[in-house]
């Protein structure tokens, strides 16, 4: 059976039942959640622990800011981790998160810091090369992530936001064809 495909240019007009009543900004951020090594606060993160942490990171809430007494500041979550994986080559945990707090979504930029919080089921104190007391964590249960402004020092050097993307939220589920049509319109408008 032979298929014959005829292509020709034809006008196209797309109308949708979508109306925007209220626009909410959210952003997808990505970067490095954690690096192998010793943190500024004397915690040792091994590859074995980092692999475990990366597997439990999806869905973990993100909060903003620090409290000088408690290190991490709580309140309402500003987003959550939507994807994470351990990068064997770089010995880091890479993450992607959706920031849903409009105020933070509008201000977050590349270079913001990231800090993790959790509870270690086991921990062992050991002496470092220079006589400092270090805490080797085992079976860390990740409970939250903190997003920190660029001027705030994070516990792990290099745990930062590396990319920020715009995103759109929809209350109703859309079909793939509707999403494709909207993307085509956006791409066309950017090109003109």
| Structural domain of 51 | 26-169
Residue 23: per-residue pLDDT: 46
Is residue 190 a part of any domain in this protein?
Answer: no
Structural domain includes residue 6: no
What is the C-alpha separation between 79 and 62, in angstroms, rounded? 5
pLDDT in tens, 57-80: 999 999 998 765 555 666 789 999
What's 82's domain CATH number?
3.20.16.10
> Does residue 174 belong to any structural domain of this protein?
no
Give pLDDT tens digits for 144-166.
999 999 998 888 999 999 999 86
Q: Is residue 60 part of a domain?
A: yes
- pLDDT top residue among 47 and 13: 47
Distance CA 22, CA 95 (A): 29
Query: Would you say residue 158 lies in a domain?
Result: yes
Q: What pLDDT, on the 0 to 100 scale, is given for residue 128? A: 84
Q: Is residue 180 a part of any domain in this protein?
A: no
Residue-wise pLDDT tens digits, 77-130: 999 999 999 999 999 999 999 999 988 888 999 999 999 999 988 888 989 888
pLDDT at position 67: 62
DSSP of 136-171, one letter per residue?
Answer: EEEEEEEEEEEEE-TTSPPSSTT-BEEEEEEE---S
Q: Residue 26's pLDDT is what? A: 79
Q: Tell me the average pLDDT of the chain.
A: 81
How many folded domains does the chain comprise?
1
CB-CB contact of 118 with 34 (8 Å): no
In a domain? residue 11: no
pLDDT tens across 23-42, in order?
456 789 999 999 999 999 89
Tell me if 65 is assigned to some domain: yes
CB contact set of 182 (below 8 Å; sequence gap of 6+): 16, 18
**Residue 179 pLDDT > 70, yes or no?**
no
């Amino acid at each position: 059976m032979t298929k014959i495909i005829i292509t020709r240019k034809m006008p196209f007009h797309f109308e949708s039942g979508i109306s925007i009543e209220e626009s909410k900004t959210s952003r997808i951020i990505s970067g490095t959640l954690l690096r192998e090594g010793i943190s500024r606060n004397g915690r040792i993160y091994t590859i074995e622990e980092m692999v475990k942490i990366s597997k439990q990171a999806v869905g973990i809430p993100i909060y903003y800011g620090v409290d000088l007494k408690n290190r991490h500041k709580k309140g309402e979550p500003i987003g959550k981790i939507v994807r994470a994986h351990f990068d064997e080559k770089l010995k880091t945990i890479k993450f992607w998160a959706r920031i849903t707090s409009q105020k933070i979504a509008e201000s977050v930029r590349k270079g913001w810091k990231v800090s993790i919080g959790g509870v270690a089921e086991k921990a062992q104190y050991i002496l470092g090369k220079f006589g400092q007391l270090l805490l080797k964590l085992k079976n860390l249960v990740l409970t939250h992530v903190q997003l920190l402004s660029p001027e705030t020092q994070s516990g792990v050097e290099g745990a930062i936001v590396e990319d920020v993307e715009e995103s759109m939220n929809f209350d109703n589920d859309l079909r793939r064809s509707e999403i494709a049509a909207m993307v085509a319109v956006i791409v066309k408008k950017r090109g003109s």
